[in-house]
Amino acid sequence: MDTPRERQIHFDQAQEIADIGSWHLDLREDTFHWSKNCYRIFGVPQNVSMTFERFLSRVHPDDRSEVEAAWNAALNGDPYDIEHRIVVDGETRWVRERGELEYDSTGEPVRAIGVVMDITTRKAREREIQLRKRRYQSLFNSIQDTILVADADRTIIDGNPAFTDLFGYELDDVIGESVRLIYANEAEFREVGQRLKNSSDKHTTITMQCQKRSGQVFPAETTIVRRNDASGKTLGFVGVIRDVSEREDRRQQMKVIDRVLRHNLRNDLNLVQGSAEMILESSAKCPDRTAQTILDTSRRLLDTAQKWRRITTFLADPPADDVIDVGSVVDSVVSRVRQRHPDATVAADRPDDCRADATQAIGEAIEELLENAVVHSGETPANVALLVSHRDAVVEIRVVDDGPRIPEMERKVLTREEEIEPLYHGSGLGLWLVNLIVRQSGGMLEFDENEPHGNIVTILLPTA
């Protein structure tokens, strides 16, 4: 059996492990007893006899009046349970104190016992959590896209100010309502719900028809993020909603322009070409220079219209990203260009294994650069090179020619170093198409001058 001394040692050890001290106050004798760990928590030497005044001297000056008020209230029968700061060797710490008072038959307090716990670490965690909450709330409120938070039953529980701006509802008016409120029709609401039910994906992105409080219907790109607990159970969803009306309008406009270029302009230019060719045939002995000019100009316009069609098609429906075997693409491009220009020298050098993350249209961009290099070569026959290499996380595709230099202004506009000014006149749409495809692939274009003359146009793509 443990001796009283051993029990005291075990008691002190247990308090130290739990970071708890205990105290006893005899109000009649005016004696104040602290446990060993209580002295340690307050940073007081054990040989110092404690009084309530000495205890108060350790309390942070800004908290003393509150502690005194709580103690006086406890003397009158209220519970004594308070958190406050103390100062230990110049360092501010936090403690929680709880106490119980005993009263005599007349209702006068005669003694009190209690415990004190060091909660400095807990307070630090609470402050960090509060700071994170404030940061989160600030970010949540400042995001321009609409954010709507729903529970597992798709009932609205929160939203940011952008929700009110977009939909016209005050948040307090919709909390507790079904998210059906923002859908334009019941069928789409049910379809999305079924998709979320059947899928365990963390993110789901859809384009849906939403409806504002005013009744206006608009297309929205919505990313729905599933909120799960540690066991994987769905707690709810967070929807990030973006009005894409302008984007959809532009897509429709692009499609209209594409139809106009495909039918009206092409048919009219074919008619002009046919008429010019008839004039040239009828004046074979003495060719009509005006007719030849008309024919050449119409062919250039048709080529420009064709490139613009490719740009509008790309902008309206960009192809998906994929892992591209750059070597196979380069081989196909070089083969086609050589077939169209059998007199040209088209050199190609590429590694055996080279893959990039790019849109499936990247071959069209490479072919456009190579075709331009051959057509505009400064030599007859043309002499161009297509060089592929990879370093670190980048695939480099370089087209080297000996033709006229690409104007500096055009290079700077394409690389966004300069804005398009009223006096800007681009040399064609081919480079614009190349730039669109490369940017869509997450890459970039670089322009350098070849020596003694010519250009080096480099496509930089992320490796797969």
Instruction: Give the span between the Cα atoms of 343 and 382, in whole angstroms.
Output: 8
Confidence at residue 257, expressed as pLDDT on a 0 to 100 scale:
64
Q: What is the pLDDT of residues 5-25, one digit of tens each?
A: 655 554 455 455 556 888 888
pLDDT tens digits, one per residue of 443-457: 888 888 888 888 899
Q: 93-120 pLDDT, tens per residue?
A: 999 999 999 988 888 888 899 999 999 9
Distance CA 27, CA 385 (A): 99
Residue in 44, 108, 101, 43 with CA at minimum distance from that of residue 71:
101
Q: What is the pLDDT of residue 3?
A: 65
Instruction: Tell me: pLDDT of 384 over 50.
Output: yes
Pairing between strand 355-359 and 321-325? antiparallel
Report the run of H or E that residue 308 belongs to, with start and end: helix 289-316
**Mean pLDDT, range 56-60, rounded to an integer:** 92
Assess whether the previous peptide bond of 381 is cis (omega < 30° from 0). yes
Distance CA 187, CA 178 (A): 15
Taking residues 291-312, report their average pLDDT: 75
Rounded to an integer, the average pLDDT of 226-255 is 83
455-462 vs 20-26, strand pairing mode: unpaired
What is the mean predicted confidence (pLDDT) over 303-311? 72
Looking at per-residue confidence, does 330 or 279 come out higher?
330
CA distance 387 to 403: 17
The label of the residue with tokens 């939909």 reads 167
Q: For residue 424, what pLDDT band results from cuts at 50, 70 and 90?
A: very low
pLDDT band at 157, cuts 50/70/90? very high
Distance CA 58, CA 89 (A): 10
**Domain ranges for the chain:** 4-125, 143-243, 247-316, 321-462
Would you say 323 and 464 are in contact if contact means Cβ atoms under 8 Å apart?
A: yes
Instruction: Return the pLDDT at 445.
Output: 85
- The reported pLDDT for the residue numbered 18 is 56
Bigger pLDDT: 54 vs 258: 54
Q: Residue 410: what pLDDT?
A: 65
Residue 432 or 184, more confident: 184
Q: Which residue has the tokens 């710490």?
A: 93
183 vs 302, residue with greater confidence: 183
Other C-beta atoms closer than 10 Å to the C-beta of 273 total 18
Of 208, 222, 219, 224, residue with least CA distance to 244:
219
* Identical fold between 143-243 and 321-462: no
Pick the CATH number of 4-125 from 3.40.630.190, 3.40.30.10, 3.30.450.20, 1.10.260.40: 3.30.450.20
Q: What is the arithmetic mean of pLDDT over 47-59?
A: 87
User: What is the distance in angstroms between the CA of the first residue and the CA of the last residue of the chain?
Assistant: 72
pLDDT at 422 over 50: no
The pLDDT tens digits of the residues spanning 162-181 come to 999 999 999 999 999 999 99
Summarize pLDDT for 176-200 with one digit per residue, the tens.
999 999 999 999 999 999 998 888 8
Note the pLDDT of residue 37.
87
Q: What is the pLDDT of residue 21?
A: 86
Mean pLDDT within 335-346? 92
pLDDT of residue 446: 87
Q: In the block, which residue shows the tokens 């130290």? A: 16
Q: Which CATH superfamily is domain 321-462 in?
A: Histidine kinase-like ATPase, C-terminal domain (3.30.565.10)
Which CATH number among 3.30.70.270, 3.40.30.10, 3.30.450.20, 3.30.43.10 corresponds to the domain 143-243?
3.30.450.20
Q: How confident is the model at residue 264 (pLDDT cuts 50, 70, 90)?
A: low
